[in-house]
Structure formats: C-alpha cells, structure tokens
Amino acid sequence: MPQLNPNPWLYIMIMSWLTFSLIIQPKLLSFTPTNTPSESLMTPTKTPSWSWPWT
C-alpha cells in the first residue's frame, strides 16, 4: 500500500511546518491589533423580569 510509505509525505509535512513556523508565523504575529480591548468595569445589568400576559 503506497499510503504507508512515509518517505515523500514526511518530508512535505516537515517542510510545511518549518515554513509556517519560521516564515509565516513571525510575520503574522508582528501585526498589531487595530482594535485593542479596553479596560472597562464589568457591571452586571439588572434586567426587568418578563411580564407574561397569561400569568
């Protein structure tokens, strides 16, 4: 069965991961986010209970 031969696919997988890890990932991580999260206080809002017409 040729699928069990890891010779060409192992090389392709290793080269793909090396390309991603060494070239693409640092370029992606160098971008700064444009929408930085703000430090806001999380105050729980009190929502009124639903007034069901049949109760």
pLDDT in tens, the chain (55 residues): 566 777 788 889 999 999 988 988 888 888 877 777 777 777 777 888 888 787 5
Distance CA 28, CA 14 (A): 20
* pLDDT the model gives residue 14: 93
pTM for this structure? 0.45
* pLDDT the model gives residue 2: 60
Sign of CA dihedral 9, 15, 18, 22: negative
For 5, the token pair is 């031969």
* pLDDT the model gives residue 24: 86
* pLDDT the model gives residue 1: 52
The number of helix segments (H) and strand segments (E) in the chain equals 2, 0
